[in-house]
Chain A
Amino acid sequence: MLATERESLRHEIAELAEKYEHKRDGMMPVLEAVQEKYHCVSDFAMQEVARQLGVFPTEVYGVVSFYSFLSTEPRGKFAIRLCRTLSCDFAGKREVARQLENELEIKFGETTPDGLFSLEYCNCLGMCDHGPALLVNNDVYTEVSPELVSDILEKYRRMFGPASQLEEKEASHA
């Protein structure tokens, strides 16, 4: 991470912690905000949160590792979570899972090389009457069929715009 990036992250965490008066119960909202913006809570971020809230970094790590929506490793800009629980299973989540893997060319638990999408399972999303259900970040999709998968992904790809050609060239030489 660049020194300037570190500085801005440090600054942001300080501001967030300020909002919760540097109190311990600010932990979840602060971590959630960091996760949302950076798609992970890095070692550096954990140390900063610990410093700002006056707890040990191991405590922060304990919290981050406990909750499935927080992660120490970067997730995609768009985190896809497919419900794996019974009603969605009955409704055909296996076919949707397969097509997600086909379209993204990754397996569950992985992130696409461009960092755009990560794919994982989650438990019941409270949409069991309209399964199969999945989340893309905070957006919920219901009655997802294999043929709908590519449309959903396309929507997010376009939101982000086409990748830069120079960036791709750079990557191919790396």
Chain B
Amino acid sequence: MASVIHIMERYEAGSGLKKALAMSRTDVIRQIRESGIRGRGGAGFPTAVKWNLCAVAQSPKKFIVCNADEGEPGTFKDRLLLTERPEVLLDGITIGGYAIGARLGVIYLRAEYAYMKPGLEAALAARRENKLLGKKVLGKDFDFDIEIRMGAGAYVCGEETALIESLEGSRGEPRNRPPYPVNTGLVGAPTAVNNVETLIACAQILVKGPDWFKKLGTDVSTGSKLLSISGDCRRPGVYEVGFGTSLKDILKLVEGEGAKAVQVGGASGRTVPAKQFGRKLGFEDLATGGSVIVIGPQRDMLGVAENFLEFFVEESCGQCTPCREGNPKLLEGVRLLKRGKCSVGYLRELQNLGRTMQAASKCGLGQSSANAFLDITEHFRSEILGRVPATKE
């Protein structure tokens, strides 16, 4: 088992854009549709459907937004892409802009990545120089530019409607959906929000074709995925693998075989116990934006749940009750468990609360913040019940 080089293959700056501009907008979207690519930011919405909805929307203004907020704990593959593949990304944004009929692209870059801004600005300036941006891109009847806007430290702003609120100069509070951004996005105009990796894959697909892309992956989850792997393994880092790869193979790759659990998809993802390491990455089973955290045998699973719940308590925007009130309740429960002070009856109530949060929260944050708690309390019962806390020295 080795990692692959697929969307990370060599790419000549401007090559995908040249191809795209020689085609009609519908043909560009057709190429993307044939590749079967689904969003790499986590939710897995088919990119061609998103672009097409934007393209057919009637509006004098449209936007394409690159989501570079990468805040999911354990995710860092966009960091690598933004620093080492800016040319492919900027091509991808421009191609997307052409496909949907936008004149402006916006990169929403998280505040923690402010150190990348000068490099990206330089890449943008070079593209303007080379007619890859600006009036009449590559001499065609297509005006397009890209602007960078910075976040200011809020995980929830990675959620696309919160991101749009933030761009508009407001608190990053998620909106009700529908309406979706493809109809009513930035300043009310149709807006396609895409992850960094999605846009890079799209640029590669334009150059190398849908069949090249589908050489890897499964029928439902085509192509490859960049994984950010950290935690208790010997070789953490960014890896590219085909969708459909099992956790067992991934652990072999990073030399983390002794793990007792793997956290797939970050704090909002799933906690997979060792007996299920045969499970595979993909939208069929373990969907992920790419975060894989290896949890070694020495770790306390309640410590894991506590760390994640502290994260959600801090990052909840507080707009809706299940998420605002539920996360602190679950956190309190984990601390009770840690002190050995939680009955099975009360635990069951907390689990019901967790399921209510999944069902009743307004956005993806509250809908997934109970996942790890529910997985850990289900799969690690013998480890978490009846604790006798260490006495204080």
B152–A123 touching, CB < 8 Å:
no
B72 to chain A: closest residue by CB:
A124
A62: CB under 8 A from chain B?
yes
A68–B76 touching, CB < 8 Å:
no
Residues 60-97 (chain A) with a chain B CB within 8 angstroms:
62-63, 66-70, 84-87, 89-90
- Pick out which of these stretches binds chain B: A4-12, A100-108, A133-141, A148-156: A133-141
With A63-B170, A139-B115 as given contacts, are A90 and B152 in contact (CB-CB < 8 Å)? Answer: no
Residues 115-160 (chain A) with a chain B CB within 8 angstroms:
122-131, 135, 138-140
A-B contact count (CB 8 A): 124
CB neighbours of B242 from chain A (8 A): none
A126–B70 touching, CB < 8 Å:
yes
B317 to chain A: closest residue by CB:
A66
Taken together as a complex, chains A and B put the C-alpha atoms of A85 and B263 apart, in Å, by 13
A27: CB under 8 A from chain B?
yes
B231–A87 touching, CB < 8 Å:
yes
A129–B308 touching, CB < 8 Å:
no
Taken together as a complex, chains A and B put the C-alpha atoms of A23 and B149 apart, in Å, by 15
Set A63, A85, A125, A138: member contacting B307, Cβ < 8 A: A85
Taken together as a complex, chains A and B put the C-alpha atoms of A138 and B229 apart, in Å, by 24
Residues 55-99 (chain B) with a chain A CB within 8 angstroms:
70-76, 78-79
A129–B263 touching, CB < 8 Å:
no
B158 to chain A, nearest CB (A): 11
Set B111, B237, B267: member contacting A86, Cβ < 8 A: B267
B307–A86 touching, CB < 8 Å:
yes
A135 to chain B, nearest CB (A): 7
B152–A85 touching, CB < 8 Å:
no
Set B169, B230, B299: member contacting A27, Cβ < 8 A: B169
Set B76, B169, B229, B311: member contacting A127, Cβ < 8 A: B76
CB neighbours of B44 from chain A (8 A): none
B78–A126 touching, CB < 8 Å:
yes
Number of A interface residues, CB 8 Å?
38
B89 to chain A, nearest CB (A): 16
B75–A67 touching, CB < 8 Å:
no
A57: CB under 8 A from chain B?
no
B316 to chain A, nearest CB (A): 12
B172–A67 touching, CB < 8 Å:
yes
Taken together as a complex, chains A and B put the C-alpha atoms of A52 and B299 apart, in Å, by 52
Set B71, B230, B303: member contacting A123, Cβ < 8 A: B71
- Most chain B beta-carbon contacts within 10 A, residue among A23, A53, A125, A127: A125
Q: Mark B138-175, 1 if CB is under 8 A from A, else 0.
A: 00000000000111111100000000001111111000
CB neighbours of B187 from chain A (8 A): 25
A85 to chain B: closest residue by CB:
B73
B76–A24 touching, CB < 8 Å:
no
B169–A63 touching, CB < 8 Å:
yes
A63–B171 touching, CB < 8 Å:
yes
Taken together as a complex, chains A and B put the C-alpha atoms of A144 and B42 apart, in Å, by 30
Set B72, B115, B167, B232: member contacting A90, Cβ < 8 A: B232
Residues 226-259 (chain B) with a chain A CB within 8 angstroms:
228-232, 236-238
CB neighbours of B72 from chain A (8 A): 124
Taken together as a complex, chains A and B put the C-alpha atoms of A70 and B231 apart, in Å, by 30
B375: CB under 8 A from chain A?
no
A68–B228 touching, CB < 8 Å:
no
Taken together as a complex, chains A and B put the C-alpha atoms of A165 and B368 apart, in Å, by 55
- Most chain B beta-carbon contacts within 10 A, residue among A86, A125, A140: A86
With A28-B152, A128-B76 as given contacts, are A123 and B314 in contact (CB-CB < 8 Å)? Answer: yes
What are 7 A-B contacts defined by CB distance under 8 Å?
A: A28-B151, A66-B172, A67-B151, A70-B153, A123-B71, A128-B293, A129-B230
